[in-house]
Amino acid sequence: MFRINVFSILILIIFIFYNVMLYSVHVTVLDVMSVESLAATYNILINIISLSISIVVLFKVLGEPRLKSLFLQSIQLVLIVHVTVFFLQFFVVYLTDYYIDFVHFFSGQNSRYLSYVKVGLIGMYRPTGLLVEPSTYFGVVFCLYMALKCSTYKIKRYIEYAVIASFLLTFSSVAYVVLVIYFVSRFNKLGIVTNAIIVLFFSILSVMYFSEITPHIEKIVNSSQIRIALVDYLINRDIDLLLLGPSMFGIEQQLYDLASGNISSATHYNRVASINDVGTLVFLMVKLGMTGILLYMVMLFLSLKNSKATYFFSVTLIKLSIMNPIFVMLLPLYFIKDNET
């Protein structure tokens, strides 16, 4: 296991050095970086170094069976806390119309729990758990859930059902899309009865609440348009940005303006999606260009080699930045064979 740590340290050092050099070229020679990126340089560098150290430590933890077991138990405990808080909010708000906003209590920021689409008797409120919005709750908890699913750790069945139910009750567009992709990819492994129940449930739900679901589908389509616009922008970048990207330390000024709504009359793009809302593959394209796609394919291959590609691919679809500690610190679980630890 020591060899794995040495290799991971070497890779991370090369990765950081590469991004520093790439960033320096874009700042001093090409002068395309956004003002906001320049202001956040040192914070991003500290963040990358901290996350890199966390990954190296986690590789060591996963190499020790006892520590790995404790680590996975801790993940399940955190998962249970998130889901428990979610259902506490759910039942209280629907029984009393009072929402327990933990985010506001601790940070002063209001949770975005009011729904855009009402489905039958429920849907007016969308609990967010300990996070600020439903899609963020789904992203964080789905990461924790996939981390347990891709390991040898056995999740209690009732906990798993509660987790999936909470995903559905977020009424998050990205949650539905990712769950459909995940369950379809696992279709032949779930069993005939389970598959039949899933198909029957969603079929009945679609028929009963077609008129209520339609606006939700339209919302998914509308949000997809700005994501497609972002990909179109990335493909039509200047050759240096297309191939290498601006680095993990920031983005070019034009892309920042488009994503934040400060649209210049000199561009034909009306608006593009935020880079933190488009999944891992597009995020890496934004930061590292075609090199980012290559990096993603390498990670996908490593997870495929360990029979964990479905879990890794599903996680990379969520609206959670690759720089998020929850996302990064759980990555090693997808790249290490369970029988090696």
Q: Could you tell me which residue, 20 or 208, shows the higher pLDDT?
A: 20
How many Å apart are CA 198 and CA 203, to the nearest integer? 9
Residue 41 within a domain: yes
pLDDT tens digit sequence for 165-182: 999 888 887 888 888 888
Confidence band for 145, pLDDT divided at 50, 70 and 90: very high
Q: Looking at per-residue confidence, does 206 or 28 come out higher?
A: 28
Asked if residue 301 is part of any domain, the answer here is yes
**283 lies in a domain?**
yes
Query: Alpha-carbon distance 276 to 295, whole Å?
Result: 18
CA 323 to chain centre: 10
Token pair for residue 309?
């590609």
Higher pLDDT, 37 or 162: 162
pLDDT at residue 246 is higher than 80: yes
Mean pLDDT of the chain: 79
- State percent of the chain over pLDDT 90: 17
**What is the predicted pLDDT for the residue at 207?**
52
Residues in the chain: 341
Cβ atoms of residues 245 and 235 within 8 Å: no
pLDDT in tens, 298-310: 888 888 776 788 8
Domains held by the chain: number: 1
Cα separation of 40 and 23, whole Å?
12
pTM here is 0.80
Measure the CA–CA gap between 303 and 337, rounded to whole angstroms. Answer: 9
122, β-bridge pairs: 119
How does pLDDT run across 253-300, given as a tens digit for each residue? 888 888 877 765 445 566 787 787 778 888 889 999 999 899 888 888
Round to whole Å and give the CA distance between 121 and 205: 13
Q: How many CB atoms lie within 10 A of CB 323?
A: 15
Is the pLDDT reported for residue 117 higher than 80? no
Q: Does some domain include residue 1? A: no
Beta bridge partners of 252: 33
Any domain includes 340: no
Instruction: Summarize pLDDT for 85-109 with one digit per residue, the tens.
Output: 999 999 999 999 899 999 988 888 8
In a domain? residue 270: yes
As a whole number of angstroms, the distance between CA 17 and CA 175 comes to 36
Q: Is the pLDDT of residue 241 over 80?
A: yes
* More confident: 128 or 327: 128
Q: Is 257 part of a structural domain of the chain?
A: yes
The whole-angstrom separation of Cα 89 and Cα 98 is: 9
Over 80: is that where the pLDDT of 36 sits? no
Distance from C-alpha of 170 to C-alpha of 174, rounded to nearest angstrom:
10
Q: Is the pLDDT of residue 247 over 80?
A: yes
Hey, what are 80's tokens?
A: 């249970």
66 versus 80: which is more confidently predicted? 80
Helical spans, DSSP H, in the chain: 2-25, 35-39, 41-62, 65-96, 102-107, 134-149, 157-169, 173-185, 192-208, 210-235, 239-244, 253-260, 279-305, 309-315, 325-329, 332-335
3 pLDDT tier (thresholds 50, 70, 90): very low
At residue 52, the pLDDT reads 80
The answer to whether position 341 is within a domain reads no
Question: pLDDT-derived band of residue 338, with 50, 70 and 90 as boundaries?
Answer: low
**Domain span at 74:** 6-334
Instruction: Over range 228-247, report the average pLDDT.
Output: 88
Question: Looking at residue 31, what DSSP letter applies?
Answer: -
